[in-house]
Amino acid sequence: MTFKVFIDGRHGTTGLKIDERLSIRPEIEILTIPEDKRKDPAVKAEYINNADVVFLCLPDAASKESVALLKPGNTKTRFLDASTAHRTHPDWVYGLPELNGGQRERVKNAQKVAVPGCHASGFIMLMAPLVAGGIVPKDYPVSTYSITGYSGGGKEMIASYEEPATLPESMKSPRFYALGLAHKHLPEMQAQTGLAHQPLFTPIVGNFAQGMVVAVPLLPRLLPKKVTPADIQAYFAEYYAGEVFVKVMPLDAAPVLDNGFLPATACNDTNRAEIFVFGHGDQILLASRFDNLGKGASGAAIQCMNIMLGVDETTGLAV
């Protein structure tokens, strides 16, 4: 069976990756608007309503405009929105199949799926299970930080790193950003974990193209029950048992570290996310590592598409 796919915004970073991954799949027919018709709403509406799946790789406002082009009564066309426009919208299903026992089925049956943000994906994979299990209370004062490759910033940021013949000294080191503490991923980070308050989130961009590590520190003395790193690692292992794309690493992570370092790039070009637990009786550090362009963007979108179309979830994705 052939599925018709339209990538609205295929020239952006995420759209290009989705196009690249799907173009080699024989069961996928990618619908492409002629260049001179790209901005014609009537033409776009025709393509959207003829597609089985539409990927929205657009700014928020443009994503909403494209969804509005769906004809009344059209229940065939299904949307996967990579923008932040619908991630907390009640009519959209959050596209993280591993979120809980019923999320995969909700994705499968949905007409509209919101693809998670990259930073949010790593944070939610760490915190949602712990809040759901009562290990971390909903009112815990959560903080988190994340380091990402510059490709997550889109074409403009990619160009700022790759086009200069000599990179400015200020861009050679990791750089904190979103210092107004109002990053666009915060609403979904709170909503999908069940936290009573948004976490204090500090994102960092580094001088490397892709890869990501999201970290969450925990203080056991502030938790309702005494837990150790071993307890949390075992809990994660049970929670994610059977998940092909989420791998809980052993408590003794030394063999998979790089001389004691945790590089952000080890999952690049895969759809794999790795969960780590470090620490001791007084302090615990949780970390998730994945490709910000894979499980953090295009890979997650294609994983959800596979589920929605009823094909093997791993099709076209590297583990």
pLDDT (tens digit per residue) in 252-307? 999 999 999 999 999 999 999 999 999 999 999 999 999 999 999 999 999 999 99
pTM listed for this prediction: 0.96
Unique residue bearing structure tokens 């910033």:
153
Compute the average pLDDT of residues 1-17.
Answer: 93
Helix (H) or strand (E) holding 175: strand 175-176
Which residues in 71-219 belong to E strands, given as ranges?
78-81, 93-94, 112-114, 143-149, 175-176, 200-206, 212-218
Q: Is 260 helix (H, G, I), strand (E, B) or coil?
A: coil
pLDDT computed for residue 6 by the predictor: 98
Whether residue 296 contacts residue 152, with contact meaning beta carbons closer than 8 Å, is answered with yes
Unique residue bearing structure tokens 């969960």:
275
For residue 184, pLDDT over 90 is answered with yes
Q: Is 118 a catalytic residue?
A: yes
Mean of the per-residue pLDDT values of the chain: 96
Q: Is 223 helix (H, G, I), strand (E, B) or coil?
A: coil
* Residue ranges, CATH 3.30.360.10, the chain: 118-292
Q: Is 118-292 a domain of CATH 3.30.360.10? A: yes
For residue 243, pLDDT over 90 is answered with yes
Whether residue 192 contacts residue 126, with contact meaning beta carbons closer than 8 Å, is answered with no
* Residue ranges, CATH 3.40.50.720, the chain: 3-115+297-309
pLDDT computed for residue 35 by the predictor: 86
Beta bridge partners of 3: 28
Provide the CATH number for the domain formed by 3-115+297-309 in this structure: 3.40.50.720
Residue 252's Cβ-side half-sphere holds a number of Cα atoms within 13 Å equal to 1
pLDDT classification of 39: cutoffs 50, 70, 90: confident
Catalytic residue selected from 57, 118, 267, 304: 118
Kind of pairing, strands 273-279 and 78-81?
Answer: unpaired
